[in-house]
Amino acid sequence: MANQGAKKRKEENARHMSNLRRLIIACNVVYILVRMVIFHSSFTWKHWVSLGITTAAYVIPYLQLASMARPTYADDGDLLDGGFDMSTGGVCGYLHDVVYITSFVQLASIISGKFWYTYLVIPAFGAYKSFNFIKGILPGASEGNLEDEKTRKKREKMEKKASRGKVMKMRNR
């Protein structure tokens, strides 16, 4: 069973992508039923635009995740890799966040249009991560880390303790 891990990851990825697909379909069906059928009198062109935006916000991350989860096979048909591990963070986690935020915005926008402002979380988080990345690259960025009094005393105490060396106590019987 040399490729047992790859087979397991392939099955996990297939199950995960199926769950994401169900979430996307369920959110779209609920939005369409409630917005177009129940509240049809207040359905305007803005709601068509919002449906298009949420569809794009679902499709783009979903296709990226699907390509990451796709297993690779050898020429003879043997499974080489089960695909990317969907439980890891990084870009994969950010793509999941976009899907989950989109589902929240789509369902909550049935109640009020003000929930569209929740989408501002995505670029705000991107700006925050970019700012921290750029701040770390700039020269002299690490000089601003000043140590407070409590941390300094604790560090000095640990250094003093380490410089003394260890004293072993033996028990006499």
Amino acid 167: pLDDT:
57
Which residues make Cβ contacts (< 8 Å) with residue 119, sequence separation at least 6? 101, 105
Compute the radius of gyration of the chain from its Cα atoms: 26
Main-chain phi, psi angles of 168, to 5 degrees: -95, 130
Which residues make Cβ contacts (< 8 Å) with residue 147, sequence separation at least 6? 155
% of residues, the chain, pLDDT over 70: 89
Distance CA 147, CA 153 (A): 10
Amino acid 1: pLDDT:
47
Tokens of 49: 């635009």
pTM: 0.70
159-to-137, 156, 167 alpha-carbon distances in Å: 30, 5, 16
pLDDT in tens, 14-59: 899 999 999 999 999 998 899 888 887 877 888 888 888 888 989 9
